Amino acid sequence: MPKVLMRGNHALAEAAVRSGCRYYFGYPITPQNEVPEYMSERLSKLEDGVFIQAESEIASIHMVIGASMAGGRAMTSSSSPGISLKQEGISFLAALELPAVIVNMTRGSPGLGNIAPAQSDYFQATRGGGHGDYRTIVLAPNSCQELADLTYKAFDLADKYRTPVVILGDGMLGQMMEPVELPPEVQIKKLPHKDWTLTGAKGRPSRFIRSLLLDPFEEEEHNWKLMRKYERIAKEEVSWETSFADDARLMVVAFGIAARIAKGAIKRMRDEGLKVGLIRPISLWPFPSKAIKELTKKVRHFFVFEMNMGQMLEDVKLALEGNGEVHFYGRPGGIILTPLEISRVISSYYYQRKLG
Amino acid sequence: MASGMIEIDSELCKDCKLCISVCPHRLIESSDRMNQKGYYPASYVEKHLKKEGSKCTGCGLCAISCPEIAIEVYRA
Amino acid sequence: MKKIFSRPKSLKKTPFHYCPGCGHSVLHRIIAEVIDEMNLQEKIIGIPPAGCAVLAYLYFDIDMGEASHGRGAALATGMKRVLPDRVVFTYQGDGDIAAIGTAETIHAAVRGENFSTIFVNNGVYGMTGGQMAPTTILGQNTTTSPGGRKQKRDGFPVNLSEMLAVAKGSAYIERTAVNSPANILKTKKAIAKAFRIQMEGHGFSLIEVLSPCPTNWKMEPIEACKWIDEVMAVHYPLGVLKDVTGDKRDAH
């Protein structure tokens, strides 16, 4: 299949449409404006395409809820502050067991922040963000190709598990242009039938979709039901990538754009003879805890590198369960580090700890 | 002879008294016997009253007003 | 004798949990009657509010989907865009629609989204115990406007229907009440007309229904119904606020 040079935001939007998404509800916020702009054009050309620029991020997530209840593949996108606004809606999606895809192109935070890329929404994405005991599948692409592939896959995962899926990108991934091999168009009619949607009670008893369970015993059981689902997801949908791991004395742990930068740094360090490897979680929830713990059989030193003040760091520490040493380097607020800077920081640690 | 009749399900009634207030022939009164919910339900008294011209016409105003759908109306 | 009045088919047999004399009960029934008479049970989808009617799906025998507080108009938008040939309606209280949900409601009307809204206006937040609502009138006593709503402290009440009538996308806005048999029948006609207007694709329709809340108004039901006539309807006048069809015929 031929590759197309595409901007990240466009690649994810195109992949979504090819995955059968016909319902996009969004709101402008930098650095993801290209997503609604692309969708407005692309969906208007499709007979069954629906694009609404909603009045707010709150309105758009609730339009996603309505569309999902009616059986459509629906998505919304935003950036950090807008994703904060969507949290109640995301909690509802999880509680109501509705499929949906939510894209976050993270920017400098907290508050109004800035429009530069950051990774400071890891907690927001993986720790719920909204109220209650729920999880959302969180996928972290690190290239325009992955933005396309993971968005495409997200709709299938969402439908399969009846759960919201978050694509955790960042401003840089969204803006950069890379060659992308686009996935094939899905035939919507061939998608598995949903037997739980609200379509009007024709030829069947009426049904309702709700999350209000006043009886605590019912609510408890519902929570257990969700947890059993999340356990299944944790077993089946964990994904990660390792590079240069075989003889590594130190493993860098990074996700998304930081992992791209880290790879560049690792190549520099390998050229200098340092035995550094990389493990890159692709699913941030479920987190590849087992895979990280496995590494402790051969490696003792873990260097977490994120564009934030240490968020995935906590999951790495939890995964290691005390086996190994964890060091952290990060810069928040939209700073994009260079491979040179990272290689210097890691090399410095490597030499100080005499890992050579 | 009455041209209409109503039946009140006293277990559904919550004694809001709206039916009593709208009946043009004043054929409904609060019962003095409590129902299971603890209300004194409305009760159709045509059979007990011997008022001149007090006959149910099946106008249905009581049923239209009743929030609990406790009243069914019959008309000849 | 023939039975001429009984429970509509689209209502489950579950007894209502609403207070004695509550407007929700009557409104649920007449909506169900309209659904029966217009044969909509198989193609209608309802969205209940957060509020006393949050459990509406236990009563209506139709497909229903829960919305978080105030967002019914956004859900209805998404739903109707996916299923344009179904009838979609939201059922919302005054807080749901005119406080937290104002943006979603106004924008759905402005966009001319083709669904219907039944706006239950009882001037208080019923489920949470009788706090002030956007539609609480000046001087009205509630748990968060002790001594009566004061303009300086609490601001003016909102006339949402009048505001929505200005929106170009609104096709039909009418204010009715359920405090008397005559008004109940008018409300039923208005609801049927709203659904008809939706099915004909004219745009956004809304029926504001002045509804008694005897418990939180601290009145007997009969007194509450009178208060609607004598006080509430003065501030929220009944009648058609907008009708792009100019249609006088019976909606059925």
Q: Which residues pair with A75 in a beta bridge?
A: A24, A101
Q: Which residues pair with A148 in a beta bridge?
A: none
At position A352, the amino acid (one-letter code) is Q
- DSSP H helices in C38-127: 72-82, 94-95, 102-111
A208–C64 C-beta distance less than 8 A: yes
CB A94 within 8 A of CB A166: no
ipTM of the complex: 0.93
The full length of chain B comes to: 76
Asked whether residue A123 falls in the same domain as residue A151, the answer is yes
Residue B1, C-beta contacts closer than 8 angstroms, at least 6 positions apart: B55
Burial class, A156, CB count within 10 angstroms (exposed 0-12 / middle 13-18 / buried 19+): middle
Nearest C-alpha of chain B: how many angstroms from C24?
Answer: 8
Q: For residue C102, which residues of chain A lie inside 8 Å, CB to CB?
A: none
CATH of the domain at A33: 3.40.50.970
Nearest C-alpha of chain C: how many angstroms from B13?
Answer: 8
Please give the tally of structural domains in chain B: 1
pLDDT digits (tens, 9 = 90+) for A16-53: 999 999 999 999 999 999 999 999 999 999 999 999 99
Asked whether residue A262 falls in the same domain as residue A342, the answer is yes
- The tokens describing A138, both together, are 């969180």
Asked whether residue A300 falls in the same domain as residue A154, the answer is no
Q: In C6-115, at which residue ranges do the beta strands (DSSP E only) sit?
A: 44-47, 63-65, 87-93
CATH of the domain at B57: 3.30.70.20
Domain C23-243, CATH: 3.40.50.970
Quick check: C249 pLDDT over 70? no
B14–C4 C-beta distance less than 8 A: no
Residue of A98, A35, A101, A91 whose CA lies nearest to A65: A98
Quick check: C1 pLDDT over 90? no
Which chains have 3+ CB pairs within 8 A of B? C
Other Cβ atoms within 10 Å of A160 Cβ, number: 16
Asked whether residue A213 falls in the same domain as residue A311, the answer is no
CB B29 within 8 A of CB B20: yes
Quick check: B47 pLDDT over 70? no
Asked whether residue A226 falls in the same domain as residue A246, the answer is no
Q: For residue C65, which residues of chain A lie inside 8 Å, CB to CB?
A: 65-66, 69, 198, 208-210
A208–C78 C-beta distance less than 8 A: no
C21 contact B CB<8A = yes
Range of the domain at B65: 4-75
Please give the tally of structural domains in chain A: 2
In a domain, A77, yes or no: yes
Nearest C-alpha of chain C: how many angstroms from A117?
Answer: 30
C184–B18 C-beta distance less than 8 A: no
CA A285 – CA A127 distance, rounded (Å): 9
pLDDT digits (tens, 9 = 90+) for C4-62: 999 999 999 999 999 999 999 999 999 999 999 999 999 999 999 999 999 999 999 99
- The tokens describing A112, both together, are 């109004």
Asked whether residue A180 falls in the same domain as residue A327, the answer is no
pLDDT digits (tens, 9 = 90+) for A221-275: 999 999 999 999 999 999 999 999 999 999 999 999 999 999 999 999 999 999 9
Provide the pLDDT confidence category of residue B54 given band limits of 50, 70 and 90.
low
- The tokens describing C233, both together, are 């309807």
Q: What's the pLDDT score for residue B46? A: 67
Chains A and B physically touch (3 or more Cβ atom pairs below 8 Å): no
Domain limits of chain C? 23-243
In the three-class reduction of DSSP (H, G, I as helix; E, B as strand; rest coil), residue A276 is classed as: strand
B67–C1 C-beta distance less than 8 A: no
Largest CA distance in chain B: 35
Q: For residue B69, which residues of chain C lie inside 8 Å, CB to CB?
A: 7, 11, 25, 29
Residue A41, C-beta contacts closer than 8 angstroms, at least 6 positions apart: none
Radius of gyration of chain B (CA): 12
CA A345 → CA A71, A273, A342, C119, distances in Å?
50, 16, 5, 62
- DSSP H helices in C83-206: 94-95, 102-111, 151-154, 160-166, 181-199
Q: Which residue of B has its CA nearest to C222?
A: B18
Range of the domain at A158: 4-195+209-236
Asked whether residue A249 falls in the same domain as residue A285, the answer is yes
CA A168 – CA A186 distance, rounded (Å): 23
Look-up of token digits 């950051």: A118
Look-up of token digits 């001319």: C112
Average pLDDT over residues A316-323: 96
Q: DSSP assignment of chain B, as one string?
A: --SEEEEE-TTT-----HHHHH-TT--EEE-SS--TTS---EEE-TTT---TT-------HHHHH-TT--EEEEE-
Q: If phi over 0 gives left and psi between -120 and 50 gives alpha, with beta otherwise, what is residue A204?
A: beta
pLDDT digits (tens, 9 = 90+) for C153-207: 999 999 999 999 999 999 999 999 999 999 999 999 999 999 999 999 999 999 9
Q: What's the pLDDT score for residue C248? A: 61
- Closest partner CB to C21 (pick from B4, B16, B60): B16
Residue of C213, C239, C251, C240 whose CA lies nearest to C21: C213
- Closest partner CB to C21 (pick from B12, B18, B72): B18
Average pLDDT over residues C121-131: 96
Asked whether residue A189 falls in the same domain as residue A218, the answer is yes
- The tokens describing C114, both together, are 């083709």
Other Cβ atoms within 10 Å of C153 Cβ, number: 8
Look-up of token digits 């907290």: A110
Q: For residue B71, which residues of chain C lie inside 8 Å, CB to CB?
A: 5
In a domain, A84, yes or no: yes
Higher pLDDT, C169 or B25: C169
- The tokens describing A168, both together, are 């955790």
Q: What's the pLDDT score for residue B53? A: 55
- The tokens describing A74, both together, are 């629906």
Q: Which residue of B has its CA nearest to C24?
A: B67
Asked whether residue A278 falls in the same domain as residue A171, the answer is no
Asked whether residue A226 falls in the same domain as residue A128, the answer is yes
Cis peptide bond upstream of B67, omega within 30: no
Quick check: A131 pLDDT over 80? yes
Asked whether residue A52 falls in the same domain as residue A172, the answer is yes
- Closest partner CB to C4 (pick from B12, B68, B73): B73
In a domain, A202, yes or no: no
Asked whether residue A131 falls in the same domain as residue A274, the answer is no
Burial class, A180, CB count within 10 angstroms (exposed 0-12 / middle 13-18 / buried 19+): buried
B58–C4 C-beta distance less than 8 A: yes
Residue of A112, A140, A110 whose CA lies nearest to A126: A140
Which chains have 3+ CB pairs within 8 A of A? C
pLDDT digits (tens, 9 = 90+) for C233-246: 999 999 999 999 98
- Closest partner CB to A66 (pick from C61, C75, C87): C75
Q: Give the number of beta-carbon pairs within 8 Å between A and C.
A: 131
In the three-class reduction of DSSP (H, G, I as helix; E, B as strand; rest coil), residue C206 is classed as: strand
